[in-house]
Amino acid sequence: MKDFISMLDITKEELAELLETTAVIKEKQKRGEIFQPLKGKTVALIFEKPSTRTRVSFEVGVFQLGGHGVYMDTRGSQLGRGEPLKDTARVLSRYVDGIVIRTFGQERVVEIARYSKVPVINALTDEEHPCQVVADLFTIKEYLRKFKGLKVAYLGDGNNMCNSWLIGAAMTGINFYAATPEGYEPLAFYIEKAKEIAKTTDSEIVITHDPLEAVKDADIVYTDVWASMGQEEEAEERKELFMPYQVNMKLLKHAKPDVLFMHCLPAHRGEEVTDDVIESCRSIVWDQAENRLHAQKALLTKLIK
């Protein structure tokens, strides 16, 4: 694995190893053990989209690993004035030891990686959010100690989270049910790839428009915002369309009694999830958010030498 710009960049074996490294790194931090494999290293952090968890977890992660993060946004760099991505990639890779980028189109990350001589990590695009899925899988392993045979129900928009989750679930043997309104399904490319991978792990990949079918006997119920960044103008229209997919206590009664609730955050309480669900004992969103830090430290450790 040279770069991590898609869940498809990692093999099943590499994913398992990455999750093991995440556990080791988290335990080191809990013990207060100094672990600095990035000492003397510098990482460029390019953020063309707003961020809380992703930016802070990467900045803190680079620092805790002994490295130095250089934050860049479009207003404070030549990217905002139209410098070609390939020029930025060529120059940055002569200055830094790794590039983390959060941007719009997936093709922007692909181009950066094509011209960069150092590892590139996708910190979110409109098409994928692989770093989040690695942290999510680690969180599930912490709580349930396994993947094989678990049922994850994803409700809402078939967005970047859903695309990346399709691949992560198929790789680990998780049965993944995505319930979306018609016309808001995940991309066909990821559905097809997930179903191909699922043949090797006996995972079920199901796309449905029925939230009850997805949630029935689920071990985990997962949701995300209904309108992602760049879709703000559609927010009101989406609210009415997506309301049947809201995760509330009534819906959770169709899942297993010990179901866990996950959300990649930020949450729009009262829309995709009700306040009583996200604040309940079934919610593990805060551990999930913390694990972004540990999972990304594992990625940085694996990629940057």
| pLDDT tens for each residue of 4-45 | 999 999 999 999 999 999 999 999 999 999 999 999 999 999
Predicted confidence (pLDDT) per residue in 74-124, tens digit: 777 877 778 899 999 999 999 999 999 999 999 999 999 999 999 999 999
Any binding-site annotation on 281? no
DSSP assigned state of 186: P
Any binding-site annotation on 229? yes
pLDDT band, very low/low/confident/very high, at 148 (cuts 50, 70, 90)? very high
The pLDDT score that the predictor gives to residue 172 is 98
Helical (H) or strand (E) element with 262: strand 260-263
Mean pLDDT of 165-192: 98
The pLDDT score that the predictor gives to residue 235 is 76
Q: Which fold has domain 131-285?
A: Rossmann fold (3.40.50)
Compute the residue count for the chain. 305
Residue with tokens 């309301």: 243
Amino acid at 134: V
pLDDT band, very low/low/confident/very high, at 212 (cuts 50, 70, 90)? very high
Any binding-site annotation on 53? yes
Any binding-site annotation on 52? yes
Q: CB of 11 within 8 A of CB of 126?
A: no
Burial letters 139-151, b for 16+ CB under 10 A, else e: bbbbeeeebeebb
Q: Among 46-50, 96-100, 138-142, which stretch is predicted with the lowest mean pLDDT?
A: 46-50
Mean pLDDT of 231-257: 92
Mean pLDDT of 128-155: 98
DSSP assigned state of 273: B
As a whole number of angstroms, the distance between CA 303 and CA 183 comes to 37
Any binding-site annotation on 114? no
Token code pair at residue 202 = 């006996």
DSSP assigned state of 178: E
The pLDDT score that the predictor gives to residue 136 is 98
- Give the contacts of 89 (CB within 8 A, at least 6 positions apart): 99, 111, 112, 113, 114, 115, 116, 120
The pLDDT score that the predictor gives to residue 61 is 98
Token code pair at residue 52 = 């809380």
Q: Which CATH superfamily is domain 12-129+289-304 in?
A: Aspartate/ornithine carbamoyltransferase (3.40.50.1370)
Any binding-site annotation on 131? yes
Residues with catalytic roles? 102, 129, 132, 224, 264, 292
Answer whether residue 229 shows pLDDT above 70: no
Where do the structural domains in the chain lie, given as residue ranges? 12-129+289-304, 131-285
Same fold, 12-129+289-304 and 131-285: yes
Burial letters 221-247, b for 16+ CB under 10 A, else e: bbbbbbbbeeeeeeeeebbeebeebbb
Alpha-carbon Rg for the chain in angstroms: 19
Mean pLDDT over the full length of the chain: 96
The pLDDT score that the predictor gives to residue 79 is 77
The pLDDT score that the predictor gives to residue 75 is 77
List, in sequence order, every residue forming a beta bridge with 205; answer none if it has no partner. Answer: 176
pTM for the full predicted model:
0.96
pLDDT band, very low/low/confident/very high, at 230 (cuts 50, 70, 90)? low
Q: CB of 122 within 8 A of CB of 5?
A: yes
Burial class (CB in 10 A: 0-12, 13-18, 19+), 203: buried
Predicted confidence (pLDDT) per residue in 246-263, tens digit: 999 999 999 999 999 999
- Give the contacts of 42 (CB within 8 A, at least 6 positions apart): 67, 68, 69, 70, 95, 96, 97
Burial class (CB in 10 A: 0-12, 13-18, 19+), 220: buried
Pairing mode of beta strands 175-179, 151-155:
parallel
As a whole number of angstroms, the distance between CA 94 and CA 42 comes to 11
Answer whether residue 275 shows pLDDT above 80: yes
